Structure 1
């Protein structure tokens, strides 16, 4: 057993782990120690910088609560959330790409009849969302649940403004028909900034990065025998598509929003979701 030095720090720390501990935990922690110590040695971290980092993490934890998770925001802003998503959801050819879940989903949104408008505050331009839920062979999936949510026309989710927006504003759950089709009306979403009044926002500012996300509608699509899909539809042409603050955009998820002349909506977008089976190793 040796004492820790600059040269042997990784080996000394990792040697303290018991062989009786969980094997996966040992692998994860050994890699974490290796890369963390390597980073500190690479940049030759100063004591002042170390204290700044501790203060940053402390403030990040202090911002966390029932209505806000600053550590998830930090993970998002550093691209970690999207990397974890990419590793855990390697989709087979033809399956719809996933993206980050985001912090604003709420369980228990009402199941609504097809075609219902989920915009309850009377703001924004109404868009008809329609398409099909299919399997990898192109066959329709009936009774799939399509859970959707978005910001309002001012760029805020209802949970961010509980005293201003109606409950369940821009949220709903729809069940596909025998042909796998879905249809509902919501607003054409708008770009919005992630919360930037905390340490993550300060980090972005110090790095010269903006906090904006491109306009998108969230989808969670589930069906028995198929892997859950969490994804977005992004509004084509949005100015933040190539600089999304949380790196959530994939080219396959950018959709055309077409203007229409109708008494019930001003826009229409058509998008099919292709689910992979739960038995697929990918």
Structure 2
């Protein structure tokens, strides 16, 4: 039987991936471990639906089922995790989460699917992408594009932003309500954002 060898880079990447779910509050184990349903974020019974934003000019339909985008190019690693929830704060299992963003140079891949991928939330409504911190697209602050859809329900199209970016105040599309929670981790950053979608 062939033995798999892991180098330090592989171990750091795996640790960061697991830490992405560990960063959820309260702690959530990594996908695939068959853990019990964690408590979702606190809610007073009615959460505001995530704000919509333009998809921009570079959306490409039919992205691959691919939650790990690290192989699509260079850049600082980022594990983006969170929940998809109803306005009553119930987790939405099987929701489509589609992510796309610019590469480290600020360019979008318009002929292929680099830094483009989708996944479906697990039974607890959790999602996680492993990707790279996007570069600055001319005229915009640093951001991710996202579409979220549960079943045949309406599609939520929005963008996510990085806190403390100098370009936030100059970007006419920027919305503070769409700021991710970002923290440092060994080998990269952890991002957290919970989407609330209408039925």
TM-score range, shorter chain: 0.7 to 0.9
1:251 to 161, 176, 185: 176
1:216 to 115, 134, 143: 143
Q: Compare the two structures and name the one with the higher helix fraction.
A: 1
Instruction: Render the CA deviation track for 1:179-214: whole Å, top value 9, x for unaligned.
Output: 100011111122220xxxxxxxxxxxxxxxxxx100
Preserved CA contact (<8 Å) 2:47 2:88: no
Partner of 1:269: 191
Instruction: Render the CA deviation track for 1:232-275: whole Å, top value 9, x for unaligned.
Output: 1101111111211xx2211100123211014xxx0110110000
Instruction: Render the CA deviation track for 1:82-121: whole Å, top value 9, x for unaligned.
Output: xxxxxxxxxx961111111101010111113xxx421334
Partner of 1:232: 159
Preserved CA contact (<8 Å) 1:119 1:169: no
Paired residues, what number? Answer: 154
User: For the residues of structure 1 that align with 2:68 and 2:88, how far apart are their CA atoms?
Assistant: 31
User: For the residues of structure 1 that align with 2:154 and 2:197, how far apart are their CA atoms?
Assistant: 7
The answer to whether 1:153 aligns with 2:107 is: no
Partner of 2:131: 186
Larger radius of gyration: 1
Unaligned runs of 5+ in 2: 1-45
SS at match of 1:252: helix
User: For the residues of structure 1 that align with 2:129 and 2:158, how far apart are their CA atoms?
Assistant: 17
Preserved CA contact (<8 Å) 2:105 2:136: no
Preserved CA contact (<8 Å) 1:234 1:249: yes
The structure with higher relative contact order (CA 8 Å, sep 6+) is 2
The answer to whether 1:96 aligns with 2:50 is: yes
Unaligned runs of 5+ in 1: 1-91, 194-211, 278-282
TM-score scaled by length of structure 1: 0.52
User: For the residues of structure 2 that align with 1:215 and 1:232, how far apart are their CA atoms?
Assistant: 10
Preserved CA contact (<8 Å) 1:260 1:268: yes
SS at match of 1:213: coil
Where do 1:60-99 residues align within 5 Å?
94-99=48-53
User: For the residues of structure 1 that align with 2:47 and 2:95, how far apart are their CA atoms?
Assistant: 21
Partner of 2:18: none
CA RMSD of aligned residues (A): 1.6
How far is 1:219 from its partner?
0.4
How far is 1:122 from its partner?
3.2
